[in-house]
Amino acid sequence: MTSFDRSLFEGRVVAVTGAGRGIGAAVSAAFLACGARVIAHAGRGLEHAEVDLLPRLSPGERDRLTLLTADFSKPGAGRSLGETIAAECGGRLDVLVNNAGTMGGRFPADEISAAEFDRVIDLNIRSVVELTTALIPALRAAQGAAIVSTSSISATTGGSAGSSLYSASKAFVSTWTRALARELAPDAIRVNAVSPGTIMTDFHRRYSSQEKLDKTADSIPLKRLGTAEDCAPAYLFLASSALSAYVTGQILEINGGQFMG
Ligand SMILES: NC(=O)c1ccc[n+]([C@@H]2O[C@H](COP(=O)([O-])OP(=O)(O)OC[C@H]3O[C@@H](n4cnc5c(N)ncnc54)[C@H](OP(=O)(O)O)[C@@H]3O)[C@@H](O)[C@H]2O)c1
């Protein structure tokens, strides 16, 4: 992150969910490198943050990091985390990154159970809406705040076999982003999303075979899978009013040319 201006987010407070590993860890480290104070939802526990996030931070960056945990499969967890973050930031939040999410497994369309439906919707939709709703007063108070959510390439393409619920839940995130951008524009809150393609994190280590990943890499114009570090600058760009003051309601695709729509 040395190529970024260390004063880009100096004095700004940024909340990131799903920050303990993968894309969220890279995004949190990038905001810290750019001078932000980061309130990070590590995940359901702290164990991934201890391995994936903390070791890449300098002592000064660690001093600007607050780690929280919450399990978004529990009803009301998003709202309750929002209340905690609002108290932590003193009622003024500059940037909210809604990033926590996952597929929860590959479910053939004729075998989707009520429990699987709830698990995907509670995490990828309900928690995002609850958390954002709880934090809108704090974002308004910042006067020029930004929300950046994590959608997915599958929101547009429909994803691969067994990912219908996940893909549709990410389409919700994209559409909700555009709707909120219009609604919150009078409050000077910009709302955008980053849409990653195939990014090598624990997500694909869990849900995709090496053979499938090799085939995907070969089909990508840039001839490789993405990394969490490939994604992080897009979040900084959309969060910074110095870089994207006139950008709202957009879904920024980060996928090596995998999808051009
Ligand atoms: N990797 C890709 O190719 C890709 C592509 C498109 C979109 N995305 C999206 O990018 C975001 C980050 O994914 P990633 O690739 O970085 O995956 P990851 O490494 O698996 O990280 C997922 C994050 O979400 C958190 N999370 C999962 N279930 C949770 C729950 N029930 N309650 C609270 N937190 C929970 C995880 O916490 P725990 O450590 O507790 O599990 C973790 O911090 C997700 O929204 C994902 O859908 C990823």
Question: Tens digit of pLDDT for each residue in 24-81?
Answer: 999 999 999 999 999 999 999 999 999 999 999 999 999 999 999 999 998 899 999 9
Is residue 126 within 6 Å of ligand 1 at its C-beta?
no
Q: Which two tokens stand for residue 1?
A: 């992150």
Q: Which atom of ligand 1 is nearest to the CA of 45?
A: 40
Cβ-in-10-Å burial (0-12, 13-18, 19+) of 59 comes to exposed
Protein residue with least CA distance to atom 35, ligand 1: 43
CA-nearest residue for atom 39, ligand 1, is: 43
Question: What does the alpha-carbon distance between residue 125 and residue 165 come to, in Å, rounded to a whole number?
Answer: 11
Tens-place pLDDT, residues 122-153: 999 999 999 999 999 999 999 999 999 999 99
AA letter at 97: V
Task: Give me the pLDDT at residue 23, please.
Answer: 98
H or E element: which one contains 81?
helix 77-88
CA-angle at 258, arms to 256 and 261, nearest 5°: 110
Residue 256 has pLDDT above 80, yes or no: yes
Quote the CA–CA distance of 227 and 234 in Å, as a whole number: 12
Mean pLDDT over residues 2-16, rounded? Answer: 88
Answer yes or no: are the C-beta atoms of 32 and 113 closer than 8 Å.
no
Q: Which residues of 151-172 are buried (b: 16+ CB within 10 A; e: fewer)?
A: bbbbbbeebbebbbbbbbbbbb
The tens digit of pLDDT for each residue in 37-50 reads 999 999 999 999 99
Mean pLDDT of the chain: 96
Ligand 1 close to Cβ of residue 258 (< 6 A): no
Which pLDDT belongs to residue 3? Answer: 65
Instruction: Judge contact between 210 and 119, C-beta under 8 A.
Output: no
Query: What percent of the chain lies above the pLDDT cut of 90?
Result: 92
Mutate to test the pocket of ligand 1, among 203, 227, 230 (most ligand atoms within 8 A of CB): 203
Start-to-end CA distance of the chain, whole Å, equals 29
Please state the atom number of ligand 1 nearest to the C-alpha of residue 42. Answer: 43
Q: Is 226 in the pocket of ligand 1 (CB under 6 A)?
A: no
Distance of alpha carbon 48 from alpha carbon 140, whole angstroms = 32
Going from the Cα of 186 to the center of ligand 1, the distance in angstroms, rounded, reads 31
**CATH 3.40.50.720 is the classification of domain 13-254:** yes
Pocket test for ligand 1, best of 73, 102, 124 (most atoms within 8 A of CB): 102
In sequence order, the 6+-apart residues with CB closer than 8 A to the CB of 193 are 148, 149, 150, 151, 173, 174, 177, 250, 251, 252
Candidates 67, 103, 77; CA nearest to 201 is 103
255 lines ligand 1 (CB under 6 A): no
Q: Whose CA is nearest to atom 20 of ligand 1?
A: 203
Return the ligand 1 atom nearest residue 104 CA.
28
Cα(81)–Cα(87) distance, integer angstroms: 10
Mean pLDDT score, 90-114:
95
Report whether pLDDT(1) > 70: no
In whole angstroms, how far apart are CA 195 and each of 70, 151, 222?
24, 5, 17
pTM score: 0.98
Least confident range from 83-97, 141-155, 168-182, 207-221: namely: 207-221
Residue 91 structure tokens: 């009622």
Closest protein CA for atom 6 of ligand 1: 152
- What confidence score (pLDDT) does residue 143 get? 92
Say yes or no: CB of residue 80 within 6 Å of ligand 1.
no
| pLDDT above 70: percentage of residues in the chain | 98
Average pLDDT over residues 214-229: 97
State in Å: Cα 45 to ligand 1 middle: 13
Q: How confident is the model at residue 207 (pLDDT cuts 50, 70, 90)?
A: confident
| Position with higher pLDDT, 160 vs 2 | 160
Quickly state the pLDDT bin for 260 (edges 50, 70, 90). confident
State pLDDT tens for residues 172-205: 999 999 999 999 999 999 999 999 999 999 998 8
DSSP sequence for 11-51: T-EEEESS-SSHHHHHHHHHHHHTT-EEEEE--SSSHHIII
* Domain ranges, ordered by start, for the chain: 13-254
Q: Is 2's pLDDT higher than 90?
A: no
- Residues labelled as active-site residues: 166
